[in-house]
Structure 1
Amino acid sequence: MENLFVDLGKKSYDILFSDSFNGFAKAMSDINAPKKLLVVTDSNVEKLYADEVNDLLIKNGYDSKIYAFTAGEENKGMDTILGICGACIEHEMDRKSMIVALGGGVVGDMAGFAAAIFMRGIDFVQVPTTLLSQSDSSVGGKTGIDFMESKNILGAFHQPKLVYINVATLKSLPNEQFVSGMGEVIKHGIIRDSEFFDYIEKNSDKIKTLDNETLIKMDKINCSIKADVVEQDEKENGLRAILNFGHTIGHAVESAYDFKMTHGECVGIGMVGASYIAYKRNMIDESTLNRIENVLDMYGFKIRVDLPEKEVVYGYMQKDKKKIAGKLKFVLPTKVGEVMQTTDVSKDEIFAAFDYITK
């Protein structure tokens, strides 16, 4: 089993990488997890892994129960949070109890936010089962829900006590969800690590055939990139905002499509749009723009889409929680492995990017 330590002082935790759930109960024991647990999952993951994980916990002496909500981004709201909190009360949980988030990014957001507010905060652990959650959302402590057509507008920073990654769960993912996760993986290479970008560019066959050893290596490097950023800027006061590369346009596209496109797909489109803005500003050359597009294409991304009216997409961008003094914040590449932040991207530049990513 591989290990990565996230150094956040008193809120530090380990990320464990495995190809099974066999080591999970010991991992829980190692962090002195309380006996009373609630495994929070969704209706998709419930059928695949909930009983296996819950039975494993019960066999090792934990008083564990499962709470599953209906899968889907449309259920990433306050009703689901109240349902989780209600399950905590019914299970007679107290401030020393713990939530286990078993599932993808939506599950992690829901379980983490519920843990942050139940009894003013209880501990939780992340057991991510999708590439998107393994590569991004399970690490860093961000939790959030959607509200009034704004994505992740309500939430809290609440660090997990442990992240346990079983790469074998990726074999049950639909291909579109694997592609979605690769969006965050590719993003991390572009913003922070050119050697990692080279790795995913040169090892696409092993990655796409879900070779366990390759996936563990990819996940560990990927998480180390995000962990390094989070360690330096836990609450997104500066550096951490580079993790939003592709998200300013991507979130707007996601909303404009009523969440019918995956998050990673939309981030991929947003990365192309942001890279085009950088290219037109002479920050990157055409070969770098093409290379970014080619790697996205290599992993099955649609880098050209039928966008709704530009004003509609732009309107969704105005609801972006990352705005500063009314100005949109963009992360733009200066080369593979390095980016910069700016709030001076004009509406004309944004519309030109929309034209570029439109079929």
Structure 2
Amino acid sequence: MALLNVNAKTKEYPIYIEKDFSGLKACIEKSGLLKAKILIVTDSNVEKLYLADLKEALKDIEENICVHVFPAGEENKTLDTIKGIYESCISNKLDRSSAIIALGGGVCGDMAGFAAATYMRGIKFIQVPTTLLSQVDSSVGGKTGVDFSGGKNIIGAFYQPEFVYANVSAIETLPYDEFISGMGEVIKHGLIMDKAYFDYIFKNKESIKERKKDTLSYIIEGSCEIKARVVAQDETEQGLREILNFGHTAGHAIESLSGFTIPHGKCVALGMICALNLSLKYGNIRKEDIEEVKALLSYFDFPSKVSGIASKSIYDQMFYDKKARNNVLTFVILSEMGKAVSTKAVTKEDIFTALEEIIEFS
């Protein structure tokens, strides 16, 4: 259906956007991995939905295929789970010519990628994302890792896949909460880099919510193109790539403080509202722009407030964020709609004021 290329400094690779898994074998062959031992890593939820279909698409090379299934959930994004993947690599005799396929959402992709990056000092891996969030964001760009000691993705590596294979049909079976979780990242992409893309999302929100395949394909391709453009310029987040963290400084803090019980996309939406309020003071956007974004987030049933978490707790948790440098917080704000910048100039007082906009007081 669509083909994009990521031209990262360390590796160039394609993103295939397809309607099913039938083209996966040809993509593996094109990557020179047809005769390689391949470990499919997936979670206990995705196993029930897509593992059989994936194995059917690869039945001609089934003698080279083995599977590792781990318990689903962000709470299992740990080094213990990584250890289990390593053990499967060893027991199935994977060597440096082997590969790992990450079949699942962002949790699976992050962990399978980290295992691939570190097993035998690096073997090849393939991203087969099955959620909207992973198709538009986490599968592209080479960020891998695990949560540790309450910090999200605090241990990890930049490690690019051989290719990304996004099956749009997988989005049709997503639970609604997981679907809108991905929409948080889609909306973010328009806000930080492409006002016309944001306008498209706003104007086509009904067909997006109805999950019409053509519209889904358009936003997946659009978001991947934006992400690929950023990664090509800044692969390891030394500058420009920081703009992809719009909404994540506060969002990740809320997610960690909730014990990962609030989905990532909802936390990012709350973080975006916080960042928009900072943008009103430090950037060049209007209150009307904020209201338009909040209306779009509300249409997709994102919360505008979080309860049970104090603003001071969120503020303190932010300093565990990877973007904090020398005990100074970095915020991504909008200099205008469709253009984002990083800044360290935000005062503590203004951060608390912005946080209080998303705190539900009892």
Structure 1 residues 10 and 342, CA gap change in structure 2 (3 angstroms): closer
Q: Secondary structure at the match of 1:357?
A: coil
Specify the code of the residue in structure 2 equivalent to 1:14: P
Task: Tell me if 1:2 matches 2:9.
Answer: no
Corresponding residue for residue 297 of structure 1: 298
Corresponding residue for residue 339 of structure 1: 340
Matches within 5 A, 1:223-234: 223-234=224-235
The Cα of 1:55 is off from its aligned counterpart by 3.2
The Cα of 1:340 is off from its aligned counterpart by 1.4
The Cα of 1:178 is off from its aligned counterpart by 0.6
Corresponding residue for residue 162 of structure 1: 163
Specify the code of the residue in structure 2 equivalent to 1:146: D
Give the unaligned 5+ runs of structure 2. none
Structure 1 residues 65 and 282, CA gap change in structure 2 (3 angstroms): closer
Specify the code of the residue in structure 2 equivalent to 1:118: Y
Q: Secondary structure at the match of 2:252?
A: helix
- Give identity over the alignment, percent: 47
- How far apart, in 2, do the equivalents of 1:187 and 1:131 lie? 13
Task: Tell me if 1:58 matches 2:62.
Answer: no
Q: Which piece of structure 1 moves more, 1-10 or 83-92?
A: 1-10
Specify the code of the residue in structure 1 equivalent to 2:243: I
Corresponding residue for residue 77 of structure 2: 76
- How far apart, in 2, do the equivalents of 1:194 and 1:201 lie? 11
Structure 1 residues 3 and 246, CA gap change in structure 2 (3 angstroms): same
The Cα of 1:60 is off from its aligned counterpart by 3.8
The Cα of 1:289 is off from its aligned counterpart by 1.1
Corresponding residue for residue 267 of structure 1: 268
**Superposed CA offset, 1:77-132 (max 9, x none):** 10000100100111111000000000000000010000000000000000000011
Task: Tell me if 1:189 matches 2:193.
Answer: no
- How far apart, in 1, do the equivalents of 2:282 and 2:236 lie? 30
The Cα of 1:299 is off from its aligned counterpart by 1.4
The Cα of 1:307 is off from its aligned counterpart by 4.5
- How far apart, in 1, do the equivalents of 2:63 and 2:227 lie? 32
Specify the code of the residue in structure 1 equivalent to 2:52: D
Give the unaligned 5+ runs of structure 1. none
Instruction: Indicate conservation of the 8 Å contact 1:40/1:102, yes or no.
Output: yes
Corresponding residue for residue 15 of structure 2: 15
The Cα of 1:203 is off from its aligned counterpart by 0.6
- How far apart, in 2, do the equivalents of 1:21 and 1:45 lie? 14
The Cα of 1:221 is off from its aligned counterpart by 0.9
Corresponding residue for residue 95 of structure 2: 94
The Cα of 1:303 is off from its aligned counterpart by 1.4
Specify the code of the residue in structure 2 equivalent to 1:304: K
- How far apart, in 2, do the equivalents of 1:97 and 1:60 lie? 14
- How far apart, in 2, do the equivalents of 1:213 and 1:278 lie? 33
The Cα of 1:336 is off from its aligned counterpart by 1.4
The Cα of 1:316 is off from its aligned counterpart by 1.1
The Cα of 1:61 is off from its aligned counterpart by 5.4
TM-score by length of 1: 0.97
- How far apart, in 1, do the equivalents of 2:236 and 2:281 lie? 32
- How far apart, in 1, do the equivalents of 2:61 and 2:214 lie? 28
- How far apart, in 2, do the equivalents of 1:286 and 1:309 lie? 25
**Superposed CA offset, 1:154-206 (max 9, x none):** 00000000100001101111101011000111000000000100111011111
Instruction: Indicate conservation of the 8 Å contact 2:9/2:235, yes or no.
Output: no
Specify the code of the residue in structure 2 equivalent to 1:84: I
The Cα of 1:9 is off from its aligned counterpart by 5.2
- How far apart, in 1, do the equivalents of 2:334 and 2:324 lie? 19
Q: Which runs of 4+ in 1 moved over 6 A?
A: none
The Cα of 1:62 is off from its aligned counterpart by 5.2
**Superposed CA offset, 1:314-335 (max 9, x none):** 2211211111121010000122
Q: CA RMSD in A?
A: 1.2
The Cα of 1:58 is off from its aligned counterpart by 3.0
**Superposed CA offset, 1:121-146 (max 9, x none):** 00000000001100100000000111
Instruction: Indicate conservation of the 8 Å contact 1:102/1:128, yes or no.
Output: yes
